[in-house]
Structure 1
Amino acid sequence: MPVKQPITPVILSGGSGTRLWPVSRGERPKQFIALTDERTMFQLTLARIAGLAGATAPVIVGNAAHVDLIHDQGDEGMTLILEPMARNTAPAIALAAIALEEQDSAMLVMPSDHVIADVAAFHAAIARARDLVAQGWLVTFGIEPDAPETGFGYIALGDELADGVRKVARFVEKPDAARAAQMLADGGHVWNAGIFLFSARAYLAALAQHQPAMLAAARAAMAGASHGGNIIQPAAEAFAACPSDSIDYAVMERADKVACAPVAMGWSDVGSWDALHALAPKDAANNALHGPSYAIEATGCLIRSDGPHVTVVGANDLIVIATGDEILILPRGKSQDVRKAVAALAERVNKP
């Protein structure tokens, strides 16, 4: 049997995580916080690599402001690429692909802040996709939907390319409720999880075809990078010239050889306090309690405290989040409105 490409996990860890404010902050975003386990989201992502056939030490693409957190929570042998500034996922992945170009690893690109409950199912989906990756296909992993979610993008599946892997027919923007329900009823659609597998050279070739300016800026940034220990710091001035775009818009929606491996693996992007309530253990009244928090004659609440004792009495379906300096209260089902609180905080801080 031919030797398969090594798989290098590429973990994207540059996000600010404001959707879980006030626990998640710019200086300590959600990937570095223990939300669903005793381990942080970043540590859970690293743990997902264990037992993966052919895996090498990971490459972490992160924010220079988080370098101490990455070192404290990371593994020996990892390589850190510190983005000089945020330019979205396509340029971040380009930096890693350039670092891995010579060995042409199969890059397993994962966000650092997702939950995957069934790691064995994830590894099996990776195994199904590896032969196609060796043939130059760009593979994304689609989550088999169990509800008409409107908060995710969807992937429409085309012809089968290999056992359990299908050609991508098209990407679908986040739908309204009626469209989501129709796609769920029709079948053949999966949620776009933002997890990818492709060779470094195939990704760079796609950039050369579809995003030459982005590739040129990333190459210039890496050519001028400084190196120290396990840290690569791309040249800031060169990277500042890089267009900012997501991998979906910049590459996946434009390239020809794009495939999807559908998988049911207990996935969540933990993108809101509502999502955390859904994941968390709950009492008989459907309350999820964390820290010194209590529910009396209350149902369906998420109550989390990292400091003061919080007691909710006679209320239903509330989200109550308390930290040392901020308290957030809003109805369950409205947790996306946390952005209004973050905006108000920014206005208070910046007010002359």
Structure 2
Amino acid sequence: MRIYPVILSGGSGTRLWPLSQSHRPKQFVPVVTDKSMIQETILRVAGQPEFLQPIIVSGQTQGHLVTEALDGIGVEPAAVLLEPAARNTAAAVAIAAHWIARNDPGAMMMVMPSDHVIKDLDSLYVAIRSAAQAALAGRLVTFGIQPTHPETGYGYIERGSPLEDLAAVHQVLSFHEKPSLPLATRYFEGGQHYWNGGMFLFLADAYLAALGEHAPEVAAASAAAMDDALVEGSTVRPGAEAFMAGPDISIDHAVMEKAVNAAVVPVDMGWSDVGSWDALWTIQTRDERDNAVQGDGVVIDGEGNLIYVSDGPPVAAWGLRDCVIVSTADGILTAPRHRSQDVKKIVDFLKRRNAGA
């Protein structure tokens, strides 16, 4: 059983501004621990007997950040694939699958975003070993995150019947886009739906076959880009012209929603995509008044606040409730905690303002 961790690391991370910036996105920043999120993701599977050296898929402008992250934890990659431009996850996974198919035919690939938190690693490992049995049989397996509340910010996976001889793995009945709150509540209470965390396990050849059937334009562009790739040691730069000729589409829309051999492994593993400051508050240790403080900050006579100080001036919050205050060398953010999903609007505003300056 040979599994390559394929770690997708091309995101811009605008939802954790000002900690996450375009020159150093969220996955390259220590957000929860003293290691960056990509380092934590790499170490999550390092040393597990099934796993080989990681394959990192990132953008060309982030190559130095990937090298810095790998060097910081002493991990040698199997490959670092640097996309000339973002073409979403279907293409990112495709170029990694081509690398595996050409260098280690018959190996599996475990696709993982680089910027998620998983607290219960034992449950993750159990789920991976169940998924691997289905993947070896040709299934395209995704991991369904056990929901903890009705969430409107995630897509959902509806499970069907368990597979024969693999009770922990189920057929996928359907994928659902981000629902309204009433529909999310029905999903949560029904017990048949799971959050779509963007994690997958399958044979590289099985993915490429499905891609050729369901998204031939992505298949052709990724194959041509890898044929024309510039290889320097473990660093691979797919051919720009061919790669950019492919469509911008997610793996879910391109393949998983259409594949008849899609399967899901439900797992409860303390997962979070840390997609907002409010999400970070949710997973942080909090005091008796639900305040979470990281760095040089203090809350007096307040409750439900997140104070996050990283290389910025110290923060003292008095009498505040359900607020976020972030202090960094690059900027300071203050916002109601329930509005933290709107931080991207601040980033967009600042880009427009700077462009007009």
Which TM class, normalised by the smaller chain length?
Answer: over 0.9
After superposing the two structures, state which structure 1 stretch, 119-128 or 51-60, moved more. 51-60
> 1 CA distance for matches of 2:66 and 2:331?
25
After superposing the two structures, state which structure 1 stretch, 280-289 or 122-131, moved more. 280-289
Which residue is equivalent to 1:287? 291
Which residue is equivalent to 1:191? 195
> 2 CA distance for matches of 1:155 and 1:166?
11
Tell me, yes or no, if structure 1 residue 300 matches structure 2 residue 300: no
Which residue is equivalent to 1:341? 346
Which residue is equivalent to 1:213? 217
- How far residue 280 of structure 1 moved from its aligned partner, in angstroms, is 1.1
Which residue is equivalent to 2:159? 157
> 2 CA distance for matches of 1:330 and 1:340?
12
Question: Match of 2:45, SS?
Answer: coil
Tell me, yes or no, if structure 1 residue 42 matches structure 2 residue 42: no
> 1 CA distance for matches of 2:317 and 2:140?
49
Which residue is equivalent to 2:148? 146
Tell me the amino acid that sits aligned with residue 343 of structure 1: D
- How far residue 27 of structure 1 moved from its aligned partner, in angstroms, is 1.1
> 1 CA distance for matches of 2:297 and 2:35?
21
Which residue is equivalent to 2:121? 119
Tell me, yes or no, if structure 1 residue 64 matches structure 2 residue 68: no
For the 8 Å contact 2:141–2:200, the answer to whether it is kept is yes
Which residue is equivalent to 2:97? 97
Which residue is equivalent to 1:31? 27
Question: Match of 1:157, SS?
Answer: strand
Output one character per residue of 1:230-257: Cα deviation in whole Å (capped at 9) or x when no partner. 1000011111101010001110001110
For the 8 Å contact 2:58–2:82, the answer to whether it is kept is yes
- How far residue 51 of structure 1 moved from its aligned partner, in angstroms, is 4.0
Tell me, yes or no, if structure 1 residue 270 matches structure 2 residue 274: yes
Which residue is equivalent to 1:320? 325
- How far residue 53 of structure 1 moved from its aligned partner, in angstroms, is 2.9
Which residue is equivalent to 2:6? 10
> 2 CA distance for matches of 1:68 and 1:186?
46
> 1 CA distance for matches of 2:59 and 2:78?
15
Residue 21 of structure 1, aligned match among 10, 17, 20? 17
> 2 CA distance for matches of 1:243 and 1:338?
28
> 2 CA distance for matches of 1:30 and 1:194?
17
Identity of aligned residues (%): 47
Tell me, yes or no, if structure 1 residue 310 matches structure 2 residue 310: no
- How far residue 191 of structure 1 moved from its aligned partner, in angstroms, is 0.8
Q: Number of aligned residue pairs: give it.
A: 348
Tell me the amino acid that sits aligned with residue 208 of structure 1: G
Output one character per residue of 1:233-285: Cα deviation in whole Å (capped at 9) or x when no partner. 00111111010100011100011100000000000000000000011112222
> 1 CA distance for matches of 2:231 and 2:84?
14
Question: Match of 1:99, SS?
Answer: helix
Question: Match of 2:199, SS?
Answer: strand
Tell me the amino acid that sits aligned with residue 323 of structure 2: L
> 1 CA distance for matches of 2:87 and 2:238?
13
CA RMSD of aligned residues (A): 1.1
> 2 CA distance for matches of 1:325 and 1:270?
20
- How far residue 187 of structure 1 moved from its aligned partner, in angstroms, is 1.3
Tell me, yes or no, if structure 1 residue 175 matches structure 2 residue 179: yes
Question: Match of 2:338, SS?
Answer: coil
Tell me the amino acid that sits aligned with residue 122 of structure 1: L
> 2 CA distance for matches of 1:201 and 1:321?
45
Which residue is equivalent to 1:83? 83
Question: Match of 1:151, SS?
Answer: coil
Tell me the amino acid that sits aligned with residue 210 of structure 2: A
Question: Match of 1:107, SS?
Answer: strand
- How far residue 325 of structure 1 moved from its aligned partner, in angstroms, is 3.4
Output one character per residue of 1:122-147: Cα deviation in whole Å (capped at 9) or x when no partner. 11101112121111110000011121
> 2 CA distance for matches of 1:58 and 1:50?
8
> 2 CA distance for matches of 1:163 and 1:325?
50
Tell me the amino acid that sits aligned with residue 334 of structure 1: R
- How far residue 70 of structure 1 moved from its aligned partner, in angstroms, is 1.1
> 2 CA distance for matches of 1:274 and 1:154?
20
> 2 CA distance for matches of 1:296 and 1:223?
60
After superposing the two structures, state which structure 1 stretch, 173-182 or 290-299, moved more. 290-299
Which residue is equivalent to 1:130? 132
- How far residue 293 of structure 1 moved from its aligned partner, in angstroms, is 1.3
For the 8 Å contact 2:217–2:247, the answer to whether it is kept is yes
Tell me, yes or no, if structure 1 residue 331 matches structure 2 residue 328: no
Structure 2: gaps (5+ residues) = none
Output one character per residue of 1:189-210: Cα deviation in whole Å (capped at 9) or x when no partner. 1111100000100000011101
Tell me the amino acid that sits aligned with residue 145 of structure 1: P
